[in-house]
Chain A
Amino acid sequence: MSGSKPDILWSPHHPDRYVICDSELGLYRIGPVGSAEAKAGTLPLSEETAATLLAINSDTPYMKCVAWYPKHEPECLLAVGQANGRVVLTSLGQSHNSACKELVGKEFVPKHARQCNTLAWNPVDSNLLAAGLDKHRADFSVLIWDISSKLSPETSVAAEKIRLSSVDLDSSTVVTKPLYELGQNDACLSLCWLLRDPKLLLAGMHRNLAIFDLRNTSQKTFVNTKAIQGVTVDPHFHDRVASFFEGQVAIWDLRKFEKPVLTLTEQPKPLTKVAWCPTRTGLLATLTRDSNIIRLYDMQHTPTPIGDETEPTIIERSVQPCESQIGSFAWHPSSQNRMVVVSATNRVMTDFTVFERISLAWSSTTSLMWACGRHLYECVEDSAEGVESMIEKDIATKMRERAQSRYGHDTVQVWRNHLLAGGKDAQLKSLWHDLFYILSVSHMKQCAEDMELKLQGNVQSVVYSGIKNIVKTTSGTTESRRCWIGSDRQTDVLRYHSEERCLALRLCGWISRGTDTDVENFLRSLEQEHEWERAAAVALFNLDIRRAIQILNKGAMAEKGDLNLNVVAMALSGYTDEKSSLWREMCSSLRLQLKNPYLCIMFAFLTSEPGAYDGVLYESSVAVRDRVAFACMFLNDAQLPRYIDRLTLEMKEAGNLEGILLTGLTKDGVDLMESYVDRTGDVQTASFCMLKGSPGEVLKDPRVQCWIENYRNLLDAWRFWHKRAEFDIHRGKLDPSSKPLAQVFVSCNFCGKSISYSCSTIPHQGRGFSQYGVSGSPTKSKVTSCPGCRKPLPRCALCLMNMGTPVSNCQGTGKSDEKVDLTRENKLAQFNNWFTWCHNCRHGGHAGHMLSWFRDHTECPVSACTCKCMQLDTTGNLVPSDSS
């Protein structure tokens, strides 16, 4: 510890204590921040920990090195090596402890004074303290002291005592005779005891590393090298040693000591400390001078025995525990990968943990597993409600929930599907209403055989092709200038009519039947859903101000109604078509402050010039269907397609499902859905929506097929097999080409023909399994033989009847006391007759018999067959997670 350069030592026994030594020794205790013991004097080490200074010892000047006594008792005993080569035992905060009283203050003095470079306690024979000294002529540089030795034997050191007395020492505490003297005519810069044999001492001498054996001090093993500083044994591999020289670290294997097994990349500045992590194998930390980073070398492998020439992988890593330059660091003896770092100046300390590389993985059911060090952690999505409502759920979770609630399966009241999806998503609501209107219009057309539309080609394709295509073909548009309903005043608003526009209005849901342009039904349904503002706007656009006012009044009166609606109604009633009126002026400016977009567009409509309705058409918070319906009523043949095209493009780019109204289920619609899927990943909605399309073109689009496959794959991954099967059934109805062929048929052992009874008349995929049993139809009496060659079918391994013989409903007597509910039993009765077999041992029988057998057994019921039929398939043992 030359001058102020500090060092740190962790207490070998107290996990919360360490000593900092620079010009004096300071004992600290580390504890959590803000604990009860925390006083004003604590020093913060990290966000969570702080240190308290317990004791200071400045009795020993000229400290060069310090070593902590490794045994529990006496605790807090330190050996200090001084610049003059003396080793002094001292203690901190234990002054009255009797256990070390006689040891504290003891001094070990070498023959010739020179600097003590290093100290090392023997980890087993803890009386032995090795000291490494500078060179002094031919003197020994490694001295091993026995701290338990009583006073120096009078006779042998009498002469020295006389010499020593001149140095003013209390001779009673001075030991001058080392137990061993090693390393003659050399200097010792670093020392450590070998853990594999406590009689062996490894020393970094002047130009070599030497291993001294205390049993035979005349011999030493040595290897010439420059890397002689900071020798340290890997606590996890006792044959692995690190030492350094300048900026280079050498790793040695004591089993082949001739040369380093490894030299680590050289640092530009000289190293000051190298230390193995005591809690983790193969982690070496190094520190260079004037640096604020600690470099770590992760040796991720067991040291290979001699002969293997492979270069071990080393992951180099550097950490920066603090901003300032690091004076020294010390690994915590037991806390995982933790160290305390002290700055080069000012004794600023930092508690720091080196984190392991965390590996992680998501499961298909949205739980996250990660591994940190040797530990595993699982993080599952908590199903608890409440907090969740604040954050939007992930689409994976949403799709799972929607699959559970049979989303997409309502084929009659198609619009209800948005309720099955949770009813919160405006786009889904719009989508399913669009589909509902498309389907109902298409259905109605088919029944009514609408002549006019039929002339234009396939009715269905027109309906499915969306408003964009419908209005393109518009022809025979008539204009009308109507009166405000309930008044004689002529409006200056032009309203357009045509067959196509009418159809578009129907697709928008504004009118329900034929050419009937009455929106009353629609208004009533809006009133029912308490969509007052929207209803009022629709009424207004149908030029019925009175009705609009009436709706607003109703809305204000309704439960939880907004009384402001009355105010709006009042404003509305003051409508005047005078161009320069105050009413018009104020409404056109104040309307922008209305929060509800429908109220806003009502006044926009009333205050705008005829034919220039941008205030309505481009109000993006108004539902697309209402804007489109409005456009169909008030835009002329030139404006309308332009507006619709523009809106369609906008919807397609945004992937907004409301745009399906415009695109219909066409290629355009698939484009729109593609950008929706790109944005959300919601292949579920995409699959169900496209299945609703008219059979043909859309379903053949590879993108649609891809969504469907992806959705089925998701259901499989979630083990929603029942849902997947239901989806396939649903899909098969709408897209017959997707039906798979029969997977299996049983052929007769004798003639090789299928035993399927009716195979001669209909192809294999015709019927299901029931034909293997007898339960299929009452007309088939018995099928116990092959229909081809009349040879009997194999026998059930349990009842020994030929397959095809009906199974009596009674269970085997082996297990009859189970209570099975009757409906379930009836459902299973058919299945009991099925012919099952193990495709491993190819024994089999009636499914019911087999199931009951394997409830109690693991091996096949056929004698001498040891096949464990029921355990062969791991996936088969998984249960679907959606079975009800």
Chain B
Amino acid sequence: MFVARSIAADHKDLIHDVSYDFHGRRMATCSSDQSVKVWDKSENGEWHCTASWKTHSGSVWRVTWAHPEFGQVLASCSFDRTAAVWEEIVGESNDKQRGLSHWIKRTTLVDSRTSVTDVKFAPKHMGLMLTTCSADGVVRIYEAPDVMNLSQWSLQHEISCKLSCSCISWNPSSSRAHPPMFAVGSDDSNVTYGGKVQIYEYNENTRKYGKAETLMTVTDAVHDIAFAPNLGRSFHVLAIATKDVRIFKLVPMRKESTSTGPTKFEVQIVAQFDNHNSQVWRVSWNITSTLLASSGDDGCVRLWKANYMDNWKCTGILKGDGSPLTGSSGQPSAMSTVLGSSVQSSQNALNGMSAGSSAWSF
């Protein structure tokens, strides 16, 4: 059972991304108002904004946390063609007593010539590595060789994906059986350009990332992509936000020890839902990858869950403004989602969400 409540975000423009830290006690948001805010959860569960600062000279698309073993480190990316790494400074001012913390910019990554659309840290077992992707179709992988010095980042790999990139996701598996792998999604809306999700894998021999797979069935613009936490499973699960929600399973084929090429995968589509009526914007997995949340053009957040037969079903719908969902939209009657009453009565109280469908494209 889930209860939604509103938090006064105080951003002056659209919020583009929300990101939790490893422990779920801190949160970062970024916005078109060019700022990033950091939130800390108090013991009673309330969120308090402890830092807010201007990060870029354009809309900030995404913000993400590094694993806490590298310190309190954030990365952001922006329309201003840069990505930046931020570190929290403690102990040098009295801010902490006032419940504020101080963040300083450790580096600006200026290699992209176009808007940087996504930024993600690689899984921690790979060290402190940062990946960006940009509208000109280039994925860049940076590494901080000295984790004590976050101002030094070297560009390790530059991978051209040929298509404008909108999102990137690392395979979080730390198993040695799985070489480092990431997936890139493209928001190019031209269906004739073929598959919009590419999967790259690190090759130990060439020390380069090579394309392992292209999901040819995904031909529409992809807005978000998320590898599920692997949790020791023998296969990988990938959720894709395109004109619908799709869940793919990538089963690595048994590889002969002699072959040096990329892993071959058996790609299975596990689920495909068009309940958002049209474009799906975001997908996110819970920690055990047993629940998937998605948001779409119908202004709703939907929760998906698989039963033991691996059949995925919608188990909850929440309206984007937190208000209760009225009327039946052909949803399962035994909904696990009940919405709280503590929700603000914003102007959106009268949403005409029944009215119809809509479609985005770049």
CA separation between A384 and B25, bound complex, in Å?
22
Whether B326 sits at the interface, judged by CB under 8 Å, is yes
B162 beta carbon closer than 8 Å to chain A: no
Partner of A678, one of B23, B233, B326: B233
Least CB distance, B114 to chain A, in whole angstroms: 8
Query: A775 to chain B: closest CB distance in Å?
Result: 31
Question: Are A394's CB and B351's CB within 8 A?
Answer: no
Contact across chains for B23 and A717 when beta carbons are under 8 A apart = yes
When the two chains form their complex, are residues A364 and B22 in contact, meaning their CB atoms are under 8 A apart? yes
Residues of A close to B357: CB separation below 8 A: 319-320
A681: chain B residues within 8 A (beta carbon): 231, 233, 288-290
Answer whether residue A168 sits at the interface, using C-beta atoms and an 8 A cutoff: no
- In the assembled complex, the Cα of A346 lies from the Cα of B361 at a distance in Å of 31
Q: Is B299 an interface residue (CB 8 A)?
A: yes
Whether B12 is near chain A, meaning CB under 8 Å from some CB there, is yes
Selected contact of B288 from candidates A319, A337, A374, A394, CB within 8 Å = A394
Q: Tell whether A4 is near chain B: CB-to-CB under 8 Å.
A: no
* CA of A360 to CA of B303, assembled, Å: 11
Q: Which residue of B lies closest to A355 (CB)?
A: B299
By a CB distance below 8 angstroms, the chain A residues around B362 are 315-316
Stretch at the interface among A525-533, A614-622, A869-877: A869-877
Q: Is A235's CB within 8 Å of the partner chain B?
A: no
B11 close to A318 (CB less than 8 A): no
**Binary A-proximity of B91-107 (CB < 8 A = 1, otherwise 0):** 11000110000000000
> Given known contacts A338-B350, A362-B286, is B7 in contact with A323 (CB within 8 Å)?
no
When the two chains form their complex, are residues A382 and B359 in contact, meaning their CB atoms are under 8 A apart? no
Please tell me if the beta carbons of B59 and A378 are within 8 angstroms of each other in the complex.
Answer: no
Q: Are A300 and B79 in contact (CB under 8 A)?
A: yes
**Looking at the complex, which one of B19, B22, B27, B360 makes contact with A717 (CB distance below 8 Å)?**
B22
- B160 is an interface residue with CB less than 8 A from chain A: no
User: Known interface pairs A678-B233, A874-B72. Does A364 touch B334 (Cβ–Cβ under 8 Å)?
Assistant: no
Distance of A45 Cα from B13 Cα, bound (Å)? 29
Contact indicator B338/A359 (Cβ below 8 Å): no
| A378 in complex: contacting residue of B4, B12, B13, B303, CB < 8 Å | B4
Q: A596-619 toward B: CB 8 Å interface, digit per residue (1/0)? A: 000000000000000000000000
Please report the C-alpha to C-alpha distance between residue A871 and residue B96 in the assembled complex, in whole angstroms.
Answer: 8
Q: Which of A46-54, A623-631, A643-651 participates in binding chain B?
A: A46-54
Stretch in A59-67, A186-194, A266-274, A365-373 touching the partner: A365-373
Chain B residues with CB below 8 A from A878, complex form = 23, 25
Mark the stretch among A88-96, A705-713, A843-851 that contacts chain B.
A705-713
Chain A residues touching B, majority SS: mixed
Whether A376 contacts B29 by the Cβ 8 Å rule is yes
Give the distance in Å from the alpha carbon of A879 to the alpha carbon of B29 in the complex: 24
Q: How far is the CA of A372 from the CA of B323 in the complex (A)?
A: 12
Interface assignment of A244: CB less than 8 Å from any CB of chain B: no
Given A47-B326, A47-B327, A317-B361, A702-B90 contact (CB < 8 Å): no
B47 at the interface (CB under 8 A from A): yes
Contact: A376 with B350, CB < 8 Å? no
Cβ of A316 and Cβ of B361 under 8 Å apart? Answer: yes
Minimum distance in angstroms from B323 CB to a CB of chain A: 10
Which residues on A sit within 8 Å (CB–CB) of B25? 719, 878
| Residues B350 and A281 in contact, CB atoms below 8 Å apart | no
Contacts of A337 in B (CB 8 A): 348
Query: Which of B18, B135, B232, B338 touches A361 (beta carbons < 8 Å)?
Result: B18
Q: Does B240 lie at the interface of the complex (its beta carbon under 8 Å from any beta carbon of A)? A: no
Taking CB atoms, residues of chain B closer than 8 Å to A372 are: 15, 299, 320-322
A700 within 8 A of B: no
Contacts of A369 in B (CB 8 A): 18, 20, 27
**Least Cβ–Cβ distance between A677 and chain B, in angstroms:** 5
Could you tell me if A313 and B79 are in contact, using CB atoms closer than 8 angstroms? Answer: yes
Structural contact, A868 and B355, CB atoms closer than 8 A: no
Asked if residues B1 and A382 are in contact (CB atoms below 8 Å), the reply is yes
Interface membership of A517, Cβ < 8 A: no
The answer to whether A316 touches B232, judged by C-beta atoms less than 8 angstroms apart, is no
Known contacts A45-B352, A320-B356, A367-B24; decide if A707 and B286 are in contact (CB<8 Å). Answer: no
A391→B303 CA distance, assembly (Å): 14
B284 to chain A, nearest CB (A): 5
Evaluate whether A48 and B320 lie within 8 angstroms (CB atoms) in the complex, with A380-B2, A382-B2, A867-B91 already known. no
Q: Are A374 and B12 in contact (CB under 8 A)?
A: yes
B293 at interface by CB-CB < 8 Å: yes
Minimum CB–CB distance for B296 against chain A, Å: 8
> What separation, in Å, do the CA atoms of A390 and B335 have in the docked complex?
10
Contact mask B19-37 → A, CB, 8 Å, 1/0? 1101111010101100000
CB distance from B222 to the nearest CB of A (A): 14
Closest B residue by C-beta to A719: B23
Contact A350 B355 (CB under 8 A): yes
Q: Is residue A234 contacting chain B, with contact meaning CB distance below 8 A?
A: no
- Min Cβ gap B232→A in Å is 4
Min Cβ gap A635→B in Å is 30
* Contact partners of B358 in chain A: CB under 8 A: 293, 317-320, 354
Check A376 against B17 for contact (C-beta < 8 Å). no
Which of A49, A322, A361, A872 sits near B91, CB closer than 8 Å?
A: A872
Cβ-defined partner of A363 (8 Å) among B24, B235, B353: B24
For B352, the chain A residues whose CB sits under 8 A away are 45-49, 321, 338, 350-353
CA distance A358 to B37 in the complex (A): 17
Is B347 in the interface zone, CB < 8 Å from A? yes
Q: Which residues of B contact A336 (CB under 8 A)?
A: 346-348
Chain A contacts of B359 at CB under 8 A? 317-320
Minimum C-beta distance from A671 to chain B (A): 10
Choose among A683, A718, A874 the residue with the greatest number of B CB atoms under 10 Å from its CB. A874
Please tell me which one of the listed residues B58, B287, B327 contacts residue A362 in the complex, with CB atoms under 8 A apart: B287
Pair B230/A376 contact, Cβ less than 8 Å: no
Asked if B207 lies at the interface with its beta carbon under 8 angstroms from chain A, I say: no
Q: From residue A594, how far is it (CB to closest CB) to chain B in Å?
A: 26
Residue of A nearest to B297 (CB): A355
From B2, B3, B282, give the contact of A358 (CB < 8 A): B282
Q: Known contacts A358-B295, A358-B299: does B286 contact A396 (CB below 8 Å)?
A: yes
Residue of A301, A320, A362 ringed by the most chain B CB atoms within 10 A: A362
Which residues on B sit within 8 Å (CB–CB) of A683? 231-232
Q: Which residues in window 235-272 of B have CB below 8 A to A?
A: 235
A560 contacts chain B at the CB level, 8 A cutoff? no
Q: Verify B326–A48 contact, CB threshold 8 A.
A: yes
Q: Which of B308, B315, B351, B362 has the most CB of A within 10 A?
A: B351
CB contacts under 8 Å to B, within A832-884, are 840, 858, 867-869, 871-875, 878-879
Question: A399 within 8 Å of B by Cβ?
Answer: yes
Which residue in A302, A335, A363, A706 is a CB contact (below 8 Å) of B175? A706
Kindly state the separation between the CA atoms of A446 and B27 in the bound complex, as whole angstroms: 55
Q: Which of B47, B232, B320, B322 contacts A355 (CB 8 A)?
A: B320
Is A358 within 8 A of B361, CB to CB?
A: no
B355 lies within 8 A of A359 (CB): no
A686 within 8 A of B: yes
Asked if A674 lies at the interface with its beta carbon under 8 angstroms from chain B, I say: yes
- Whether A378 touches B7, Cβ cut-off 8 Å, given contacts A45-B352, A47-B353, A48-B351, is yes
Shortest beta-carbon contacts, A-B, top 9: A355-B299, A363-B24, A46-B352, A319-B358, A358-B295, A868-B91, A371-B15, A317-B360, A372-B320
Seed contacts A358-B296, A677-B231; 5 additional CB < 8 Å A-B pairs: A46-B350, A318-B361, A338-B347, A356-B320, A714-B287
Task: Supply 26 A–B pairs (Cβ within 8 Å), ascending by A.
Answer: A300-B59, A317-B358, A318-B360, A318-B361, A322-B355, A350-B356, A351-B355, A353-B353, A355-B353, A357-B223, A358-B295, A358-B320, A360-B284, A364-B20, A367-B24, A368-B293, A371-B29, A374-B13, A375-B344, A376-B8, A394-B305, A399-B288, A709-B174, A717-B22, A867-B91, A869-B91
Q: Which B residues form the contact surface with A (CB < 8 A)?
A: 1-9, 11-20, 22-25, 27, 29, 31-32, 43, 45, 47, 58-59, 68, 71-72, 79, 88, 90-92, 96-97, 115, 135, 174-177, 223, 230-235, 279, 281-282, 284-291, 293-299, 301, 303, 305, 308, 310, 315, 318, 320-322, 326-327, 334, 336, 338, 343-344, 346-348, 350-362
